[in-house]
Amino acid sequence: MFPALETELKQETLPDPYEDFMYRHLRYYGYFKATQGFTGSNPGRGHGTAHQATLRRRPTCHNQKDPQLKYTRPTCLSSTVRRQIEAVSRGSLLLSSPLLKSRQLLHNDFGEVNPRLREPRDLFAFLPSSGPLQAPRWPIECEVIKENIHHIEWIPPQPEYFYQPTGNEKVPEIVGEEEGTVVYQLDSVPTEGSYFTSSRVGGKRGIIKDLAVTLQGPEDNALLFESRFESGNLQKAVRVDTYEYELTLRTDLYTNKYTQWFYFRVQNTRKDATYRFTIVNLLKPKSLYTLGMKPLMYSQLDADTHNIGWRREGSEIKYCKSSTGDGQQPFYCLTWTIQFPHDQDTCFFAHFYPYTYTDLQCYLLSVANNPVQAQFCKLRTLCRSLAGNIVYLLTITNPSRTPQEAAAKKAVVLSARVHPGESNGSWIMKGFLDFILSDSPDAQLLRNIFVFKVVPMLNPDGVIVGNSRCSLAGRDLNRHYKTILKDSFPCIWYTRNMIKRLLEEREVLLYCDFHGHSRKNNIFLYGCNNNDRKYWLHERVFPLMLSKNAPDKFSFHSCNFKVQRCKEGTGRVVMWRMGILNSYTMESTFGGSTLGNKRDTHFTTEDLKSLGHQVCDTLLDFCDPDRAKFMQCLEELKELLQQEIHKKFNELGQDMELEGNWSDISLSDIESSTSGSDSSLSDGLPAHLLNIARELNKKKRLYKKKKKKPLQTRKQRNEQYQKNSLMREFKLTDVAERAGFASTLQKPHAFSRNSKNTSSSMVRNEKPRLNEREKPGFTASCSAKRSTNRSQEPARDMKPSWSRNRYPVAKRGRATLTVYPSLHVYTYP
């Protein structure tokens, strides 16, 4: 009847580029494997229709635990689905047309094609509304047990105080496996010299061996160790006595260093015995364990029967230099004793409260399934990690009524877990998200005036495998934010690129990356000194405000704002150089507080989550249209800086008087380095990435060379020289006419009037170099009446001196926000 159309049907149908991309992408990440049963427009490629692809994602059996199943067409289908497949396989008139650009069409109950596109499919669903979460992907060298490890959240009813040394703590003598018995040891651990190649769900293929020692009977009291679960870290356990064990931690994968994070399980416990555990291969010479920090223990029986979770336990705690080493660097050991609460219990030990990739996915699933929160919180995939795990990006803001209102919003960027062993960053992030996603009036106001970009877990691969510091590239990601290797460091490359695009759209008011610290107590910030006179000291206002809002947890005295060359690759410095004035690294201790009511107590997860709330609280204070709080903090910072300058010169034995231009002093001269931070120097790129980096740099240079202007002729060069000479003459004349201004510019901006003991460098109008090892004594007074003793911490139990009723008009409703159309005028005085 329609010969033209019949001829068209006989023609070979064109491949759909969208489907071709989808199949390649899904096959790459292991969602299905092509089989011979595939049919469709291009049989040679094994491609079927999009609808068939969706069906093939279902397994042929109901055993969801088998990761090696191939996805094929199911045999039991409903009549409706069968009719749709038959209609497609017959080669529908519309679907067979080579002019058709998409096959994503809807079918009715009779198998007929409707002339409209289907809704976007959930091929790349970030979190399914029902069913299991996406399982973590592991390197193929890692063995992973099939058990699901889950812990309850619990707040201790009483404060957990630091351990007080008695002086009788035992210094352990390392015996080793030569004289002891190995009761647990990982078979193959990829170290330096090897590198990541591929990953899969479940890790290593094959049967999972039982690495723990085999019990000889019910009287055998040997402990059974295990760490092959998410975020676990223990490489070897050696039994050196009946109740004494030496433990070796696994280094970060594909490296030979970074041992700090530990998290493992023991079974077959005895209640009345005193056990001793000694970790023998720690690398840091200083630790909070020397200041009273205790390890964390979790009893499964207590959790099941009494709803008790993680708690601080341990006695005879000692951190000291070990008698062993690898010949290149000394080892340090941590030893403690413990009495288990139950017989035949399953217990866990950890360096800090674990927060795994699965924990994050469960939390984000609850957000995605909340219809109210889904209106202002959009969950997207920022990128895929090296192992193929999703790096999530949350965009949180209330819908704007007009494009002008949307464009006027400033942005705030927050991230966490670039260092996987610093799980305290995830707990602060969880507290922030709990608050900003709530129906609190302050949270609604923040969502009205800001766009929040949140990356809750920057290094999911490292978190999954239990690394302390590195990604699967074997490098510290927080030293490579300037990288050009997108494929090797995707998480930070895409984060930097996202922020770069964000800066083109709107002003980014604040960037903060949440970390953990193993050598100092309390919580504090590292920032970047600003050299712009217009915003002098402004980068210190937010930390000072936060210390006022959280006086028992946050220490302004511990904050530091010096930018060192070795930190140029950190997120804090890179974002600051991109134009974000308030760019910070938040360091939260693994230990506890030395301030206020919480003095000498360990932090709990609730303490860290409450700090996330107080970050939101401080944001409102920082951007309050009433500038009284901002100006109060700025004046206080100036006074603190003056006192610190006097203190420094008194220590140097110089009697200096400050005149009007004292603020011209470089802040770097009076601030010590952040050498006490939990930092690591960059190791450079791994060997297998050096050639890639050289090739990329070579292409970059060639590209710049092509963009250079063509060579000038001799006539053009002469004309340009004459023009430059005239410009220089004009500038010199102009400067001469304003000689007074020029003299002020040439005035040395070092400290003013010299005393008799002034050094020769001051006579030459050079700025004095102060002792960089001294720590600035910046303090934060928490009341309008400032303390006379500026060298101490903020007074304990002090509350913020300012009024807590912010935005009294704006809180009544969103419509009143038009009173403050833009915050650009009010952010800085």
Instruction: Give the catalytic positions in this structure.
Output: 587
> DSSP code of 194?
B
**Residue 462: what are its φ and ψ, rounded to 5°?**
-65, -35
Angle among Cα 744, 748, 749 to the nearest 5 degrees reads 95
Nearest of 505, 500, 526 to residue 515 by alpha carbon:
526
**Structure tokens given for 233:** 């870290």
Alpha helical stretches, state H, 623-668: 628-651
Residues ≥6 apart with Cβ < 8 Å to 445: 620, 806, 807, 810, 811
* DSSP β-bridge partners for residue 264: 349
* Residue type (1 letter), 434: D
Calpha distance 644→777 (Å, rounded) = 6
Angle among Cα 684, 686, 688 to the nearest 5 degrees reads 140
Residue 350 near residue 310, CB atoms below 8 Å: yes
Where are any strands of DSSP class E within 128-274? 137-139, 181-185, 199-201, 224-226, 236-241, 244-248, 263-267
Instruction: Tell how many helices (H) and how many strands (E) occur in the chain.
Output: 19, 24
**Structure tokens given for 160:** 């957990």
**Residue 7: what are its φ and ψ, rounded to 5°?**
-60, -40
Alpha helical stretches, state H, 354-474: 357-368, 403-408, 424-436, 441-449, 460-465
Residue 664 burial by CB count (10 A; 0-12/13-18/19+): exposed, middle or buried? middle
Calpha distance 607→427 (Å, rounded) = 9
End-to-end CA distance of the chain: 80
Residue 641 burial by CB count (10 A; 0-12/13-18/19+): exposed, middle or buried? buried
